[in-house]
Amino acid sequence: MILRGGVVPTVPTADSLAIGGGKILAIGQAEEMALLASEITQTIDLKGRTVLPGFIDAHTHFLQVGLEEISSVTDLSELNRADTLAKLAEAVRVRGEGEWVIGRGWDESVWQDPSYLSREELDRIAPKNPVVAVRIDGHLLTVNNFALKQIPADVNQGQVDISRGILREKEAFAFLRAIGPDAETLRDALYAATALAHRLGITSIHTMLPPDWIRPYMRERGRIKLRVTLYPEIFCLDALETLGIESGFGDEWLRLGGVKLFADGSIGAGNAALGEPFVDSGENGSLNYTDEELVHLVRRAVKVGLQTAIHAIGDRAIEQVLRAHLTAGTPRELRHRIEHFELPTKAQIERARDMGLNISMQPNFVGNWSGDEKMYQARLGAQRDRRSDPHRLVLEAGLPLAFGSDCMPISPLYGLHWAVNAPHPSQRVSVDEGISCYTEAGAYLSFEEAKKGKIEVGMDADLVILDQDPHRVPERIAELHVEMTFVDGEVVFRRGDESCA
Ligand SMILES: [Zn+2]
């Protein structure tokens, strides 16, 4: 296939590509490419549209998105308090008495009354159905009385406020596992999320997931035209140890990235581990592990040959993760990752670089929460807001930095937009840097930089075609359209023709 007459910002001398056998075969001018054509060559006229390497979303909760797509989970994002409750009430109404209603995505930080959803409010709309409403960051949820009767929470845990029906962190994750969807629902969710990814120009994902959600990926491997790198939660370490399965196990469609750990919670849930307290609650958040526990887990993972991806948001959590890597003496070759890295100090950024660590950040967070009158200012104060999510400083320090969405929302163009148009200078990156973070850096973090993430001869023909060049409209990147998506040289999405996925 020849794609001709486009703009290729990463290869300014070229306007055309030849692809075949799933790879990029040649790059150059249209006349040169025409010489390679045979009678079976298909030619697509790009009409001046822009070709980029397919986006690699380096941090997703992919099946969660899929469950929302198939309405197995009610999407509560971008609603005010009253509408959140109204949407849940509607979901209760369409389900039978006693059936579970699961909602996800509410965010009290943008409501007039910024208190968490309460058990009482849910009881009022659902006296006869179990309801769980998960906060946008997934680290906190509210349940009603009926739900608690079916799955009692451990009231002795510090992360449970039973009177308000609020569960955080481990207790929240355990609760969700207990009501997990069945295999068929998960498969449907996987296909729905894949179709959405293709519409957004995503050709590879790194996904964080409970180990018992891996099966649908194995069953549909390669059949879904999406390259998947798995980061199962650390609970599966025993099994990986026994089997001796290390990072990179798998093939180009499905591979094991490493293991996912959580060092702390989130800013929104008020439990990120901070050096200085939250402005609103006066609390410092909490660490999920003692130093000894974290070092022990990291050592075990390294011994098996597993990359770690450790969620660390607050400066105190980041400090603990740096300490753990230092104590464990982790090798650079495993390309250990820190996820989110929202509040690092300058010194921590430099130490992370010196230790050979890699960073995975989500620029949509600054779009959602940073700047005047947003959540970071209310919870952290203006000073910490200004130094939150310092993409620019991380790049300047020379750390490998991959971008992902954390599905808030899943959309590389939205993330790229906010990385380029972030409210504070230390957050802002150039269009080129942003594209590189959303493509080749993701490939690097999954040890696949020789194979994908760039437009070069011999690389995977995973491509996204945009209606305009983001370099020309940097202040409007979020409004650009994905025209086509190619995976393995195949068209998996074409705008206006949604049937070909
Ligand atoms: Zn996440």
Residue among 396, 395, 339, 336 nearest 362 (CA): 339
pLDDT value at 344 more than 50: yes
pLDDT for 500: 45
Label residue 199 by pLDDT band (50, 70, 90).
very high
Distance 376 CA to ligand 1 centre (A): 18
User: Would you list the DSSP string of 128-185?
Assistant: SS-EEEEETTSSEEEE-HHHHHHS---TTSTTEETTTTEEEHHHHHHHHHHTPPPHHH
How far does residue 291's CA lie from ligand 1's centre (Å)? 22
Question: How far away, in angstroms, is 235 Cα from ligand 1 center?
Answer: 16
User: What is the residue whose two structure tokens read 């939150």?
Assistant: 388
pLDDT of res. 222: 87
How large is the average pLDDT for residues 369-382? 95
State in Å: Cα 311 to ligand 1 middle: 8
Calculate how far, in angstroms, residue 60's C-alpha sits from the geometric centre of ligand 1.
6
For the cut 90, the answer to whether the pLDDT of residue 332 exceeds it is yes
Omega within 30 of 0 (cis) for the link into 409: yes
Interval between CA 280 and ligand 1 midpoint (Å): 24
Q: In this predicted structure, what is the pLDDT of residue 498? A: 61
Measure the CA dihedral 194/198/200/204, to 10°. 80
For residues 278 and 377, the answer to whether their CB atoms sit within 8 Å is: no
Q: How far apart are CA 165 and CA 115, in angstroms?
A: 13
Q: Give the C-alpha distances (Å, rounded to integers) separating 327 from 237, 262, 298.
A: 20, 18, 10
- Sequence-separated contacts (24+) of 124-128 with Cβ below 8 Å: 125/85, 125/88, 125/89, 125/92, 126/88, 126/89, 126/92, 126/101, 128/97, 128/98
Virtual torsion, Cα 175, 178, 179, 183, nearest 10 deg: 140
Tell me what percent of the residues of the chain surpass a pLDDT of 70: 99
Cross-strand bridge partners of residue 229: 206, 255
Tens of pLDDT, residues 202-243 = 999 999 999 999 999 999 998 999 999 999 999 999 999 999
Closest CA to 85 of 120, 110, 112: 120
pLDDT-derived band at 495 (thresholds 50, 70, 90) equals very high
State in Å: Cα 25 to ligand 1 middle. Answer: 36
- Asked if 125 and 89 count as a contact pair (C-beta separation under 8 A), the reply is yes
Q: What is the rounded CA–CA span in Å between residue 373 and residue 415?
A: 20
- Rounded distance, CA 345 to CA 357, Å? 15
Closest CA to 168 of 80, 75, 272: 272
Centre of ligand 1 to C-alpha 305, Å, is: 23
Residues 6+ apart with CB under 8 A from 244: 304
**Distance of CA 490 from the midpoint of ligand 1 (Å):** 29
Residues with CB under 5 A from ligand 1 (ion): 406
Dihedral sign from CA coordinates of 295, 297, 303, 308: negative
pLDDT > 90? residue 164 = yes
SS3 468: coil
Distance from residue 58's CA to the centre of ligand 1 (Å): 10
| Cα(169) to centroid(ligand 1), Å | 12
Question: Residue 497: its pLDDT value, please?
Answer: 75
pLDDT digit string (tens) for 116-132? 999 999 999 999 999 99
Q: How far is the CA of 208 from the centre of ligand 1 (A)?
A: 7
Residues 6+ apart with CB under 8 A from 216: 63, 183, 186, 187, 189, 190
Q: How far is the CA of 476 from the centre of ligand 1 (A)?
A: 26
Residue 91 confidence (pLDDT) above 90: yes
Q: How far is the CA of 406 from the centre of ligand 1 (A)?
A: 5
Give residue 170's pLDDT.
86
d(C-alpha 32, C-alpha 440), whole Å: 27
Q: Provide the β-strand partners of residue 494.
A: 484, 497
Cα of 282 to ligand 1 centre, how many Å?
25
Mean pLDDT of 102-112: 94
> What are φ and ψ of residue 26, in 5° steps?
-160, 155
- Could you identify the residue written with the tokens 């959590």? 317
Pick the closest to residue 259 from 334, 324, 182 (CA basis): 334
Residue 59 Cα to ligand 1 middle (Å):
6
390 CA to middle of ligand 1, Å? 18
pLDDT band at 501 (very low <50, low <70, confident <90, very high): very low
Evaluate if residue 499 carries a pLDDT over 60. Answer: no
Q: How far apart are CA 277 and CA 314, in angstroms?
A: 10
Give the strand pairing for 463-466 and 50-53. antiparallel
Please answer whether residues 9 and 474 qualify as being in contact, where contact means their C-beta atoms are separated by less than 8 angstroms: no
Residue located via tokens 């094991």:
256
Taking only the tens place, the pLDDT of each residue in 274-309 is 999 999 999 999 999 999 999 999 999 999 999 999
pLDDT greater than 90 at residue 246 = yes
Set out the domains of the chain in order of their start, with CATH numbers.
73-178 (3.10.310.70), 183-450 (3.20.20.140)
